[in-house]
Structure 1
């Protein structure tokens, strides 16, 4: 007997909600997407899973409104996609549904029109069995990996995700500015850095740490690090603190790999720490222009 086709109701048409709806539809899932600004649905929700993709601060008030309206079926699991919030922010829905859970995809959603690849991405899933079961089906349909860490601190977990995802985007943005000072057109630079970041991601997944580290710090080349700093001080001084912080973060990995003498790593550390004590002159130059405003995620 064929398994029942999964049905999903997504409330919140921001970046995450739209991307999930798009991916699920392509996978053959029955999906209803409703923008939060349109208000509560007028019909009863009988989907296998209700996914709330509203802002963190709106999760509990939204859950309360759904519960008070009596429009969620007792066979419907209810999840949210917030990384720093436990399942319990949906507590008002627990008694009127099949259960509640956190279902956070560790994926970067940046646009309402261009969607990230989800296959292979990891999703932290924790909560009631009645919500976890349909959520696991959703995750499997999308080709993603469900993870449950019983003692996970969601705030620390989300801090790590934000540090890597948002930090990498910000780091690349500075890289675009540095490339511009070296003669690379600003519109070309992102096309160059994107594949570079892809290769870093591949190295992280396939090699892990410390092996994923590359470059002059790994090789113990203090002279190269000094030359990079000289260029940054002259051309983009406000990038110096970021370069220093990134270099110091690389040193423990480089020391663990041991491809150079300890003295070489000591020399790099001295160069970086000396640079940290020199206050850079802020640069007001920017190669970026503000794009047309995009509807914020819900």
Structure 2
């Protein structure tokens, strides 16, 4: 009770609030892979309990008493899981939301379980989950949420509690969205692999090479978030340094010729960004383009 106002404090729920605003939501995660376990650890870190059941154990026999059921399975398994949840009566006995974490699929992937009591949604964290044993940082991450209003409300509140920014983008082309995430996340890992291999050939141990490139990638991510593009671009293409690029290509031809196509494609994508920044004369960027065309 508030002594000044005579109103109860910390017990009433504001308009539009959900249970997640007070940490009382019951969460069930089905799927013990990288995303499922990563989410459970992240939830635990903010004081939110959850129950995780690995998919290898199959769906539970008893009804799932949860406000939010997170299906952390592969895309191809979502529809079958939704059908099984409905057919076995595991949800629907109380109001709840069933959501999935796939980037390329919308809420309709779970349509089979939708009912008057069950809302469905897509809840996709644009975060790189690379290991079941390591939790990636979710703070400031983006969470795309789309689906039935009740499910969206729960997901948005949960995302905020995890320090993420929930977004709903109308008319989103989800396959293009997911491909963009793959280009950056998986492409960055592939680039790092190429960089580690090249550093090894330059005389650096593999462990030290990874230790060098990890912080470099983090600063690139920070620059993209803080400066956007083209501002986050650095290096010889931005400077219009055709001679430096020619030296890179010659060294690659000698030490790692398999990386030349990757270098060329990357530099070609950088070139329009560098022209927009305009930190060198146009003829310098023309020389960069010519150097790339002369590449072996």
Alignment of 1:187-206 (within 5 A): 187-206=207-226
CA offsets, 1:119-161, max 9 Å, x none?
A: 1100000000121121122112211110100110100000000
Mapped contact 1:15–1:110 kept (Cα < 8 A): yes
Partner of 1:158 in structure 2? 178
Partner of 1:284 in structure 2? none
Indicate whether 1:126 and 2:167 are aligned: no
Partner of 2:129 in structure 1? 109
Structure 2 residue corresponding to 1:59, chosen from 55, 70, 78:
78
State the distance in 2 between where 1:22 and 1:43 align.
24
State the distance in 1 between where 2:23 and 2:160 align.
14
For the aligned residues, what is the CA RMSD? 1.1
Structure 2 residue corresponding to 1:10, chosen from 29, 37, 40:
29
Cα deviation, residue 97, structure 1: 3.8
Secondary structure of 1:23's aligned partner:
helix
State the distance in 2 between where 1:113 and 1:48 align.
26
CA offsets, 1:186-230, max 9 Å, x none?
A: 111010001111111111111111111111111111000000000
CA offsets, 1:46-87, max 9 Å, x none?
A: 211000001100000010001100111341101000000011
Partner of 1:80 in structure 2? 100
CA offsets, 1:169-189, max 9 Å, x none?
A: 000110001111111111110
State the distance in 2 between where 1:224 and 1:252 align.
18
Mapped contact 2:23–2:48 kept (Cα < 8 A): no
CA offsets, 1:239-268, max 9 Å, x none?
A: 000000111111001000111111110111
Higher normalized contact order (CA 8 Å, seq sep 6+, divided by chain length): 1
Structure 2: gaps (5+ residues): 1-10, 13-21
Partner of 2:47 in structure 1? 28
Secondary structure of 1:10's aligned partner:
strand
Partner of 1:139 in structure 2? 159
Provide runs of 4+ in structure 1 moved above 4 Å: none
Cα deviation, residue 98, structure 1: 2.8
State the distance in 1 between where 2:123 and 2:274 align.
36
Mapped contact 1:79–1:87 kept (Cα < 8 A): yes
State the distance in 2 between where 1:273 and 1:125 align.
43
State the distance in 2 between where 1:181 and 1:142 align.
41
Give the aligned length.
276
Partner of 1:91 in structure 2? 111
Distance 1:181 1:47, change over 3 A: same
TM-score by length of 2: 0.91
State the distance in 2 between where 1:251 and 1:136 align.
38
Cα deviation, residue 22, structure 1: 0.9
State the distance in 1 between where 2:210 and 2:171 align.
39
Structure 2 residue corresponding to 1:37, chosen from 56, 63, 72:
56
Distance 1:98 1:133, change over 3 A: farther
